[in-house]
């Protein structure tokens, strides 16, 4: 029988964690708050641990291990391994392996572990409550992680890690402050439940609610509200097309504390080789999506021949810019090969190469600017097509 014909049995551990703990939190946390109350110490530590857990998932589990968006110092890896375990979302190895399958098979109801195509509830947490076939561990896509001693140590001792982070730390804080029950309920239980559902929003709401400026090939969406709640993960449409970028929010004004944390770690020597997608490729993705929308809009309206001709002309200019960019990339690659061949030995050649690299940067900037201007012209064209409908 297929899963559609007969649902698989419940996973008792996951049901206890993802159904039982929220029910306990809904009853015990407010009841104790009315009876006893919580003070600033407990609220402060609950928020601090919420961010430590959340950003260890986003910066560590997600951007470092699942996507190799940058390299991290062992000290930073151990930090992520401990506080990420406090989020109680499984070991790095299992989490990252599942996430890589999600990206490879996004929206495929048979292969994506938390496919949005199976509904909002399923993608949010329903996929974890039953023993679905897609939940079976498969580490064939994570051989690099199996060679990482931090990942494998945490995987082997995950229970000790998560019990220490979720019970040991709140208990120690409660003993220190002289109020164990309040610390266990607010810093331990409530913080954990909030952390779970904030993370789950990316699997569910971020595939239903928001905009798709970079690609319409999958259901992922950008959403500023979700980005604020999820430490920058809400720019999900961008992430699904450029998953190896260490940033999710690519503009300076995008709320992405995970990006800022990684950048800060790089400045103090805890991170390196931060992968950053060139702006030209980003603008190209935006224009690709814009052309698809404009073509559909003009095809379904009574747009005049002038609008169609302008669209064709803009697409020709777009193609020329892309080809010019590819030629520049190829030429730069060949020049770098020549430099490594010993051409930089003489001072004169060094100056020449420096000047040429500056010229290349100028050409790339010009191409990036041309795409931004074309994006504006295309937006205007689409407004005119809509007015003509």
User: Cβ atoms within 10 A of the Cβ of 106, count?
Assistant: 19
Residues 378 and 313 in one domain: yes
* 267 shares its domain with 294: no
Q: Which residues pair with 235 in a beta bridge?
A: 222
- Residue 72 in 3-state DSSP? strand
Same domain, residue pair 150 and 289: no
Least confident interval from 106-110, 218-222, 249-253, 338-342: 338-342
How many CB atoms sit inside 10 A of residue 37's CB? 10
In a domain, 35, yes or no: yes
- The whole-angstrom separation of Cα 233 and Cα 206 is 9
76 in a structural domain? yes
Mean pLDDT across the chain: 86
Residue 351: give the domain boundaries: 279-388
Residue 79 has pLDDT above 80, yes or no: yes
Residue 294 lies in a domain: yes
In tens, the pLDDT along 137-179 reads: 889 999 999 999 999 999 999 999 999 999 999 999 999 999 9
Do 165 and 239 share a domain, yes or no? yes
DSSP conformation letters of 92-104: HHHHHHHHHHHHH
Burial 260-273 (b: 16+ CB within 10 A, else e): ebbeebbeeebbee
- Domain boundary (248, 272, 296) is at 272
Same-domain status, 242 and 294: no
For 370-384, the pLDDT digits (tens) are 666 767 666 766 666
Tokens 């559902």, located at residue: 197
| Biggest distance spanned by C-alpha atoms of the chain | 79
Question: CA angle, corner 138, sides to 136 and 140, nearest 5?
Answer: 170
**In total, how many domains does the chain have?**
2
Which of the listed residues 240, 255, 272 is the one where a domain comes to its end? Answer: 272
pLDDT at 20 over 60: yes
Domain for residue 2, yes or no?
no
What pLDDT is attached to residue 140?
94
In a domain, 3, yes or no: no
211: which strand partners? 222
pLDDT tens figures, 202-216: 999 999 999 999 999
pLDDT on residue 365: 62
Q: Tell me: do 215 and 120 sit in the same domain.
A: yes
pTM comes to 0.82
Any domain includes 4: no
> Is residue 1 a part of any domain in this protein?
no
State the alpha helices, DSSP H only, in the chain: 12-15, 21-35, 40-56, 74-85, 92-104, 120-121, 127-129, 143-146, 149-156, 158-163, 169-177, 180-182, 191-203, 224-229, 236-241, 257-267, 279-299, 305-338, 347-388
When pLDDT is cut at 50, 70 and 90, the band that residue 351 belongs to is: very low
Q: Which of 272, 301, 320 is the last residue of a domain?
A: 272
Q: How far apart are CA 275 and CA 246, in angstroms?
A: 6
Q: Quick one: pLDDT at residue 337?
A: 60
Check whether residue 194 and residue 328 sit in a common domain: no
Residues 72 and 185 in one domain: yes
What does the pLDDT look like over 224-249, one tens digit per residue?
999 999 999 999 999 999 999 999 99
- Identify the pLDDT of residue 92: 98
Q: Are residues 249 and 320 in the same domain?
A: no
pLDDT band at 287 (very low <50, low <70, confident <90, very high): confident
**Together in a domain, 98 and 169:** yes
The reply to whether 210 and 301 lie within a common domain is no
Is 5 among the domain residues? no
pLDDT beyond 60 at 14: yes
The sign one gets for the Cα dihedral 87, 152, 66, 246 is: positive
Residues 199 and 239 in one domain: yes
Q: How many CB atoms lie within 10 A of CB 68?
A: 16
């Amino acid at each position: 029988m297929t899963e559609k014909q007969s649902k698989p049995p419940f996973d008792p551990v996951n049901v206890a964690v993802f159904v039982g703990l929220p029910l306990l939190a809904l009853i015990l946390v407010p009841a104790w708050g009315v009876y006893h109350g919580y003070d600033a110490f407990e609220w402060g530590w609950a928020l601090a641990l919420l961010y430590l857990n959340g950003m260890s998932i986003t910066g560590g589990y997600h951007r470092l291990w699942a996507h190799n968006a940058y390299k991290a110092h062992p000290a930073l890896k151990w930090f992520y391994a401990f506080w990420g375990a406090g989020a109680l979302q499984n070991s790095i190895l299992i989490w990252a392996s599942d996430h890589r399958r999600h990206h490879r098979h996004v929206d495929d109801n048979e292969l994506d572990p938390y496919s949005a195509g199976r509904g909002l509830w399923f993608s949010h947490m329903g996929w974890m409550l039953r023993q679905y076939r897609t939940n079976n561990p498969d580490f064939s896509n994570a051989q690099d992680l199996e060679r990482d001693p931090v990942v494998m140590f945490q995987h082997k001792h995950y229970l000790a890690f998560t019990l220490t982070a979720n019970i040991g730390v709140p208990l120690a804080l409660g003993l220190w402050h002289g109020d164990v029950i309040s610390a266990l309920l607010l810093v331990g239980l409530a913080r954990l439940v909030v952390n779970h559902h904030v993370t789950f929003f990316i699997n569910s709401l971020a595939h239903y609610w928001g905009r798709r400026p970079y690609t319409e090939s999958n259901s992922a969406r950008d959403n500023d509200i979700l980005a604020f709640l999820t430490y920058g993960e809400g720019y999900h449409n961008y992430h699904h097309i450029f998953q190896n970028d260490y940033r999710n929010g690519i503009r300076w004004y995008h709320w992405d504390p995970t990006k800022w944390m990684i950048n800060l770690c790089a400045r103090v020597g805890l991170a390196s080789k931060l992968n950053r997608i060139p702006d030209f490729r980003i603008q190209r993705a935006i224009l690709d999506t814009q052309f698809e929308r404009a073509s559909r809009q003009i095809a379904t309206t009574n747009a005049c021949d002038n609008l169609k001709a302008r669209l064709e002309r803009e697409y020709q200019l777009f193609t020329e810019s892309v080809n010019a960019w590819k030629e520049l990339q190829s030429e730069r690659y060949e020049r770098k090969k020549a430099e490594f061949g010993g051409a930089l030995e003489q001072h004169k050649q060094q100056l020449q190469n420096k000047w040429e690299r500056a010229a290349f940067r100028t050409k790339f900037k010009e191409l990036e600017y041309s795409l931004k201007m074309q994006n504006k012209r295309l937006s205007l064209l689409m407004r005119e097509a809509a007015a003509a409908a």
